[in-house]
């Protein structure tokens, strides 16, 4: 067991590890399991809850009274951060790209219900959002507050620690079930989840492949983030581990029309999982990653006798913001 830094309980952990026999049958193998991080709780759950257990603990240790973070309008990370802030008695300010859509549904509705202050900041890059949040933090300080800034996706060494711990959790479940996993497949975006899984896999001796399906970035763009963040996370935890780009598996074949723009592959994946296993995935992250997994299975990327784990990172609330794109197919 690692000597983890400060952590507060926010999630319903461990999350279930379930077999998906009907999906496997529909696809003609391999054996499929799912790690249900859509069931972490915290305002419909998701992977960011694991990160926020460490991030909010760090914020409280620093004496913060306001949490500031950023994302797209339907950000699952922002919704979970707003919920975590409520549980910790902190104010939450969300800086969201784009303009006010007028109709607030999906995650935006939940942000409002959770009492977060929502600011739309226009057409700003992910890098530009760091400057925006720095400006908001200055405002909070000028008003006598104590801000804590969380970058997009909670993808810092503190946040990625949540998925180092997640691998430890998984290894315990595999031992209990006497189960071996050959491949873990999941949605990779801001890099925190994949970096944490990579560090955890090395630290706890997971011998399978860890494959991120990129939902937004080309491989070359994501690799640099993964290398830096994994090494920083290992140092944060006092682990004598080193990572280079060759240590990561990323597939960017499923970017489609771009981030947040689901098409037929996502639509088919969402419906197939719903109608075989009764499990819901979102159209931006888990739906795209699942579409990639389905395509890889159909292309024979996995042997029929292998076992593949799909790590469900949540996002169900976003379904309700994509009615026109998803209905009637």
Q: Which two tokens stand for residue 100?
A: 């006010």
> At CA 243, angle to CA 220 and CA 302, rounded to 5?
70
C-alpha to C-alpha distance for 201 and 186, rounded to whole angstroms: 14
Q: Could you tell me how far CA 257 lies from the centroid of its own chain?
A: 21
185 closest CA partner among 74, 285, 52, 80: 285
List the catalytic residue out of 24, 75, 189, 230. 75
Q: How far is CA 160 from CA 10, 125, 310, in A?
A: 16, 22, 19
Which has the closest alpha carbon to 212: 129, 131, 134, 313?
Answer: 313
d(CA 147, CA 136): 9
Active site residue 217: no
In sequence order, which residues have a C-beta less than 8 Å from that of residue 23 and are 6 or more positions away?
Answer: 32, 272, 273, 276, 277
Beta bridge partner(s), residue 308: 32, 183
From CA 111, how far away is CA 281, in angstroms rounded? 20
Which residue in the block uniquely carries the two structure tokens 């915290």? Answer: 42
Work out the burial of residue 127: count CB atoms within 10 Å of its CB; fewer than 13 is exposed, 13-18 middle, 19 or more buried.
Answer: exposed
Are residues 143 and 169 in contact, defined by beta-carbon separation less than 8 angstroms?
Answer: no
Q: Decide: 256 and 285 in contact? Cβ < 8 Å.
A: no
* Tokens, residue 297: 């299975």
Q: Which residues are catalytic?
A: 75
């Amino acid at each position: 067991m690692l000597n983890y830094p400060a952590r507060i309980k926010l999630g319903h952990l461990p999350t279930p590890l379930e077999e998906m026999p009907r999906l496997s049958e529909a696809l003609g193998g391999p054996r499929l399991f799912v790690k249900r991080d859509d069931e972490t709780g915290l305002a419909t759950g998701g992977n960011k809850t694991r990160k926020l257990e460490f991030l909010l603990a760090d914020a409280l240790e620093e004496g913060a009274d306001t949490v500031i973070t950023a994302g797209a309008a339907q950000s699952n990370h922002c919704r979970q951060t707003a919920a975590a802030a409520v549980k910790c008695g902190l104010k939450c300010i969300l800086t969201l790209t784009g303009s006010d859509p007028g109709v607030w549904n999906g995650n935006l509705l939940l942000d409002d219900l959770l009492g977060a202050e929502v600011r739309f900041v226009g057409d700003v890059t992910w890098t530009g959002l760091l400057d925006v949040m720095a400006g908001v933090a200055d405002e909070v300080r000028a008003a006598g507050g104590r801000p804590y800034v969380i970058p997009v996706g909670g993808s810092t060494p503190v946040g990625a620690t949540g998925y180092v711990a997640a691998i430890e959790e998984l290894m315990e479940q595999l031992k209990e079930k006497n189960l071996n996993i050959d491949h873990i497949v999941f949605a990779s975006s801001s890099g925190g989840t994949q970096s944490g899984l990579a560090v955890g896999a090395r630290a706890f001796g997971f011998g399978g492949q860890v494959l991120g399906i990129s939902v937004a970035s080309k491989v070359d763009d994501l690799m640099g983030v993964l290398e830096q963040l994994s090494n920083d996370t290992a140092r944060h935890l006092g682990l004598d581990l080193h990572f280079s780009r060759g240590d990561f598996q990323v597939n960017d074949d499923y970017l489609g029309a771009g981030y947040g723009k689901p098409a037929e592959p996502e639509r088919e994946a969402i419906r197939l999982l719903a109608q075989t296993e009764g499990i819901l995935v979102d159209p931006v992250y888990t739906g795209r990653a699942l579409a990639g997994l389905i395509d890889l299975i159909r292309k024979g990327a996995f042997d029929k006798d292998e076992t593949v784990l799909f790590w469900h990172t949540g996002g169900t609330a976003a379904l309700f913001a994509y009615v026109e794109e998803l209905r009637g197919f």
